[in-house]
Amino acid sequence: MTTLFDRLKIGTIELSNRIIMSPMTRSRADDEGVQPEIAAEYYRQRASAGLIITEATNISPMAKGYVRTPGIYTPEQIESWRSVTDAVHAQGGKIFLQIFHTGRIALPDFLPDKAPPVAPSPVKANGQNYTDDGMKDFVEPREMTIEEIRQTVKDFAAAAKNAIEAGFDGVELHAANGYLVHQFLGTNTNLRTDEYGGSLENRARFVREIVRAIRAKAGADFHLQVKISAADYNNAIFFWEKKGTTLKDSIQVCNWLVEEGVDAIHVSSGNMFPHPRNPMGGFPVEHAVRWYDTMLSSGIHTQRNYFMMRNPLMRRVFLYLWHRSQERPENIEGALTKEAHAIRDSIRKLRSDVPVICTGGFQTASKIFSVIDLCDCDAVSIARPLVANNDMVRYFERGEELPEKKRCTYCNRCLLNALENPLACYEPVRFDYDYDAMTKEALSVFKPAPFR
């Protein structure tokens, strides 16, 4: 019988427990991609997790797709991360760097000389992205040349090498949630007819080349894992769209990755972020209205979206579309375990020493124990509940569950507030509508309480 506090061997690393902090974009770096001092405190507060996976980090100037996101390609960026790894290691924790390239999700606003974003094919993403000048529509990306693909592979390898210099215990390659690597895997985003498009084997060539390059650059003993979307659910909101990549496709890709020598697979879902199935839960319409209210001058669709959120009927239609492909609220925790189990079963036939990590709203010890004991996965990754409760693991260590009032409600207010406020819980119910207490907790990275 395996429990959440049984140690886990993951590559050459041994974790003290099977609770992993999932990556969450914080948007607190400066314009040069350098982390502020408070980043070290934020991660230190959560070092009781068996492993921390950082926010997604840009591998090059062309990789940037969001405001104030960190990088790992300049000496200054590497140095700023070193204080983070030192802080986590001082608490006895382990920390991996998640590396990514946003591809078509980027805007010219974020890229050198306001260049257009690059992608496997010139397929524009639906929706908008946040900038300091307001919400702006995604633009049509430029199709990458073979030389650009090869350079990007080298950029990923260099990022992994830089992660070693910054003191990280490993890296996670982000191949999920609609970013560049996932765009190559997707049938609706990769329309190429050369060796990087067409068949699944060709579409997976990019990610396999990255894995090989990282292994060659960082060494066989440096931990490398891949985060993958088990299925795209491209038609989750707009039912007339194609489904996109399926679980069957992802199982095959994971088998190839294991053959290439990855140390673990991290299972997610969806081909964009946010997505109705990642992270599952509510869509905070009232917060969306507030952001759009200040951004009406930007973007072709900003005014349309604003009035959709404001109009009661259109709001109900949107929320219906948002929720229709989700699990019921009581089933959000562990909603991806079937997909994780299928992937785990398949790769176990190739290698028995490659753990599968499953994300999906976990926050009760009993549920985590159950999915691990049933071999649905080997560890769970947790995002929002760990934002809300940096001491969650301490409760589990004492044999307790999180008190009901402290649990995440999956409202997703944290996602929209993170655009301009510290990444924290903004669900007033958890604070008995004491907004001073809510603000104090959000600002705890500036004036931290003693670590428990």
316-325 long-range contacts, CB within 8 A, separation 24+: 318/283, 318/285, 319/283, 319/285, 321/237, 321/238, 322/237, 322/276, 322/283, 323/276, 324/236, 324/276, 325/233, 325/236, 325/237, 325/276, 325/277
Q: Among all chains, which residue has been given the structure tokens 């991660």?
A: 43
340 contacts 346 by C-beta, under 8 angstroms: no
Alpha helices in 119-243 (DSSP H): 146-165, 180-185, 200-203, 205-218
Strands 170-175 and 223-229: parallel
Alpha helices in 10-144 (DSSP H): 38-44, 75-90
Distance CA 443, CA 385 (A): 17
Distance CA 33, CA 58 (A): 8
Helix, strand, or coil here: 358?
strand
Tokens of 443: 């600002």
Distance CA 278, CA 276 (A): 6
141 contacts 103 by C-beta, under 8 angstroms: yes
Catalytic residue among 73, 130, 179, 426: 179
Distance CA 46, CA 306 (A): 36
Single-letter residue type at 306: Y
Q: Among all chains, which residue has been given the structure tokens 């190839």?
A: 256
Compute, in degrees rounded to 10, the torsion defined by CA atoms 390, 394, 395, 399. Answer: 160
Single-letter residue type at 398: R
297-306 long-range contacts, CB within 8 A, separation 24+: 297/134, 298/131, 298/133, 298/134, 298/135, 298/136, 299/128, 299/134, 299/135, 299/136, 299/137, 300/137, 301/127, 301/128, 301/137, 302/128, 302/134, 302/135, 305/128, 305/135
The answer to whether 179 is a known catalytic residue is yes
Active site residues: 179
